[in-house]
Structure 1
Amino acid sequence: MHRMRNGVNPFTGSSLTILLLLISLMLAGCGFQMRGTADLAFKNLYMQGAKTTIDKPLKKSLATNGVTVVQDKEQAELMLEMIGEKTEKRILSLSGTGLVREFDLYYRVYFRLKDPDSDVWGPEQMIEQRRDYSYSDAELLAKQGEELRLYDDMRTEATRELLRRLVVQKPGNLQAPKL
């Protein structure tokens, strides 16, 4: 409930409109922009190869951007081969008593692209995501949950990165993007 001062509601229709207008102008002025669709140079993609955990979110992102994942190679304007994915967990630091204090988590996905008219696949590409987190045996369940959330976050970011790499690919002119 709004607090009224001297019996006057500070959020009347015109003042509320002005407030919303000011907030909109501030957001527009700071460069805020809703995420749009990617400008992909192809409309049909054929996916093959190893099943990865990012297949489903990648297909959803492609569909959102107007790309159909086709089942027939002949209909494809671009071919994507998922070679595989790998997760890795490394010890980052130890305490003075030799207990693990921090871990490094890695998620890598490997893929390559091919123009359907070509017999040659493009070079193998890798997307790597890395996160580190502190660890404590006293908080074992919480830290296991944190690790799972970090891997999920890395997969989401790898999906976005793969989509960004697909944006720069032009069918008929495949090349590895310069990083």
Structure 2
Amino acid sequence: MTFRTLLTRAVPVALVLALTACGFHLRNALVLPPDLGAVRVVSVDRYSPLAESLSQALTRAGAPAATEQTVDATVLDLLSEQWGDRPISLDELGRAQEFSLRYAVTFELRRPDGTTPVPRQTIELARDYVSNPVQSIGTEGEREILQTELRREMVASILRRLDAVARRTFDTANTAAPATTAAPAAPVEPAASSDTPR
């Protein structure tokens, strides 16, 4: 393998790593649902990197982190996380050479009273990558980078759902509350003048 080939493969990986290192930032400030309180992120996978990333993002947004001892915590429940590869192109010998990496997460947000401001729903993301059936070196590394990128995008997508609910609740509250206007002052009768003839 020549130096030029090595450099050609290393540069795209370095660029992706540089982009992923910048972290997740919402364009605008995240608005959390009112009266959210302490939040506990629960996942079917006890060591889920997604759950850890969501906990950190919610804490940065101002939501108190719930501990095991917290009573009446709001729960962001990650009900399922699924990864899958789907072949999308074949070479002349019928071997898969391009795949679509898919990541689907089902979640819901439950308040302590049992209400679900964010009902159960699924978000699915996908990214395509090339896997050379002859030279598989580097394919696993590229797939791991894509997994990290998709996980970061999933955090952003879930937070946007929470943000949308909060903004909708805020707008509804503002629309329902009628604007209070001052009542017009009652006309004042002119005082009787002592010069008025009787």
Calculate the TM-score normalised by the size of structure 2: 0.61
SS at match of 2:31: coil
SS at match of 1:103: strand
CA contact 1:47–1:82 (8 Å) conserved in 2? yes
Q: Please state if 1:111 is matched with 2:107.
A: yes
Residue from 47, 61, 67 that aligns with 1:65: 61
Calculate the TM-score normalised by the size of structure 1: 0.67
Q: Hey, what does 2:39 align to over in structure 1?
A: 45
Q: State the one-letter code of the partner of 2:30.
A: A
Q: State the one-letter code of the partner of 2:80.
A: G
Q: Hey, what does 1:29 align to over in structure 2?
A: none
SS at match of 2:165: coil
Q: Please state if 1:90 is matched with 2:86.
A: yes
Call closer, same or farther: CA 1:119–1:161 in 2, change over 3 Å. Answer: closer
Residues 136-155 of structure 1 correspond to what in structure 2 (within 5 A)? 136-155=132-151
CA contact 2:118–2:165 (8 Å) conserved in 1? no
CA contact 2:41–2:54 (8 Å) conserved in 1? no
Q: Hey, what does 2:12 align to over in structure 1?
A: none
1:53 and 1:156 map into 2 onto residues whose CA distance is 10
Q: Which runs of 5 or more structure 1 residues have no equivalent in the other structure?
A: 1-33, 174-179
Q: Which runs of 5 or more structure 2 residues have no equivalent in the other structure?
A: 1-25, 170-198
Aligned length: 137
CA contact 2:99–2:128 (8 Å) conserved in 1? yes
Displacement of 1:121 in angstroms is 8.6
SS at match of 1:163: helix
Displacement of 1:120 in angstroms is 6.7
CA contact 1:92–1:103 (8 Å) conserved in 2? yes
Q: State the one-letter code of the partner of 2:125.
A: Q
Between the aligned residues of both structures, percent identity stands at 27
CA contact 1:88–1:106 (8 Å) conserved in 2? yes
RMSD between aligned alpha carbons?
2.4
Q: Hey, what does 1:160 align to over in structure 2?
A: 156
**Could you list the per-position Cα deviations for residues 45-70 of structure 1 after superposition, in whole angstroms to 9, with x for gaps in the alignment?**
13334133301111111111111221
Q: Please state if 1:54 is matched with 2:45.
A: no
Q: State the one-letter code of the partner of 2:158.
A: L
Q: Hey, what does 2:125 align to over in structure 1?
A: 129
| Greater C-alpha Rg | 2
CA contact 1:73–1:116 (8 Å) conserved in 2? no
1:106 and 1:79 map into 2 onto residues whose CA distance is 26
